[in-house]
Each structure stands twice: as C-alpha cells, then as structure tokens.
Structure 1
Amino acid sequence: MPYFCPVRKVCLYILIIFIWAESTSFDQLLKLPVLFEHFKEHQLKNRNVDLLEFLAMHYWGQDMDDTDNDRDMQLPFKKVNINTHYILFARFTQAPRIIAAEQTVSRTFTIYKDQYHPDPNLTSPFRPPCA
C-alpha cells in the first residue's frame, strides 16, 4: 500500500469535495439565508404565515400574487443549474512508447454470382394475384 503524507490526503479530500460540489446542487444550500430573509419579509406582510405554510406556498403550491417573483426565484432549489466538467490528468513516469506491429490480412472472396439476387418479380409491389 503506498504511503500518503497527510498533506496529500487533505488535498485529495478537498479536491473530491470540490468535484462533488460542482457536479451536484450543493451550491443551493448556500442560498439558505435568502430563504429565511424572504420568510421574514412575508411575516412582515402577514403575521399568520408560519414556516411550513411559507415553504408550501413557494415550493408546493400557488404563491401569493405579491409581485415578488424575482425575489422568489432567488430561493434555493427554485432554479438548479448543474454544470459538469471532468478533466482527467494522467502522470506517466515514462513516456509511453507506441510500437507499430505489422499485420497481414488474408481473406478469400467468393466470385460474384447472379444467383444471390432475388427474383425481381417476387419483390415487386405490383404482382399478379396469387391463387
């Protein structure tokens, strides 16, 4: 088993976290403060709105007609964009060598015979009726 120094191990974990965060919607969790700020804005308009009603209104049901659609679209998981970019780096200890190999192909081909074509009268769409 190869020996990994602690710095390499930490760098590897950080790299894995960055790749995971880029290929998932992890960045949407960073928008949670916007969710709570918008909840406070709704509570200023209507004191009876609790958190569950707020979530149901914005995610599972019909939103109030309060002309704040731009603010609603800033909430987490309203618009999810996932862009994935995978790059593979290979480090070689030696330069790879390409070895050309001679290859001979020997095949026997049959002589063309007319018997391989079907009868055109049998494949024609306009045929005489069969009895």
Structure 2
Amino acid sequence: MAIIFAGVRSLSIYILVLLMHANCCFFHQLTKIPVLLQHYAEHQEGAHDKLDFFDFLTMHYWGQDIDDDDDDRDMQLPFKKMDHGSGHHVYVSVRAYSSPFTLISFFSVGKINYKKILQSNPHLGDLIKPPMA
C-alpha cells in the first residue's frame, strides 16, 4: 500500500513541477506557435505569396520588417516580447537536504595567542652577527 502512495506522491510532484514550469515565459511563448503559423498563412494570402517560411522568420525576427501595417499582429508572435512578471520564480525545497558525507575539520578550534607571534625573540639576533676583529 505504501508503494502505491509513494507512486502517487511522486506523480503529483512531477505534475506540480510541470505546472510551475509551464508558467515560465519560455513555455508561455511556445503556446504562441499557432499564432506564428496563422500569421505566416496571412502573409501567404497577401501580396507575399512566394515567401517561404525561412524568409518569413528572417523578416520578422532578424531582418527589416516590411511596412505592411500589421505591427500589432507582429508583436503577438512568439519571442517578440517577453512578459516581465512570468520569468521570476523561486523554488523552495520542502524536503530538508541531508548529505551522506560528514564534514571533517582539519584545524583545531582553540584560542590563538597573537601577542607571542608579534614579539621579537632576542635569541634570534645572536645568531647573525658580523665577524669580530
């Protein structure tokens, strides 16, 4: 019985993640592909009957758009303008992460006396002396 609930739980998590990502701007723009095909058909019916699909994409995305008074329709095409509010999602994990590895400290956490390090040792000055005549 627990296996069935585990499968339902993982399936519900996958569905939830899919729904969260479907709201993302990339997937929202992919839903506009039928508008792209309809606009290409509109160009085929108009004066641009010899326009192939690559030239259509070049004209609307990478090149100079001809002045055919359909700028509002052109802005409805996918990836022409982005929705600013839909691209910012925060994912918060509901499951605590536990690592199978343990953290080993190589340094002791004792108190360090810095004053002895800064004091000069008078015996070190005796080692290097100029030769005496």
Moved over 6 A (4+): none
Task: Tell me how far apart the structure 1 counterparts of residues 32 and 25 of structure 2 sit (CA, whole Å).
Answer: 15
Give the aligned CA root-mean-square deviation in angstroms. 2.5
SS in 2 for 1:65: coil
1:86 aligns with 2:90: yes
Task: Tell me how far apart the structure 1 counterparts of residues 15 and 79 of structure 2 sit (CA, whole Å).
Answer: 24
- TM-score, length basis structure 2: 0.59
1:89 shift after superposition: 7.4
- CA distance 1:51–1:87, shift in 2 (3 Å): closer
1:71 shift after superposition: 0.2
**Counterpart for residue 107 of structure 2:** none
Q: What is the letter of the counterpart of residue 68 of structure 1?
A: D
How many residues were matched structurally? 91
Consecutive unaligned residues of structure 2, counting only runs of 5 or more, are 96-133
Q: What is the letter of the counterpart of residue 34 of structure 2?
A: P
- TM-score, length basis structure 1: 0.60
- The residue correspondences of 1:1-131 to structure 2 (distance < 5 A) are 5-45=6-46, 46-81=48-83, 82-86=86-90, 88=92
Q: Percent identity?
A: 48
Task: Tell me how far apart the structure 1 counterparts of residues 94 and 52 of structure 2 sit (CA, whole Å).
Answer: 54
Q: What is the letter of the counterpart of residue 52 of structure 1?
A: F
Task: Tell me how far apart the structure 2 counterparts of residues 90 and 55 of structure 1 sit (CA, whole Å).
Answer: 43
**Counterpart for residue 115 of structure 1:** none
SS in 2 for 1:25: helix
1:33 shift after superposition: 0.3
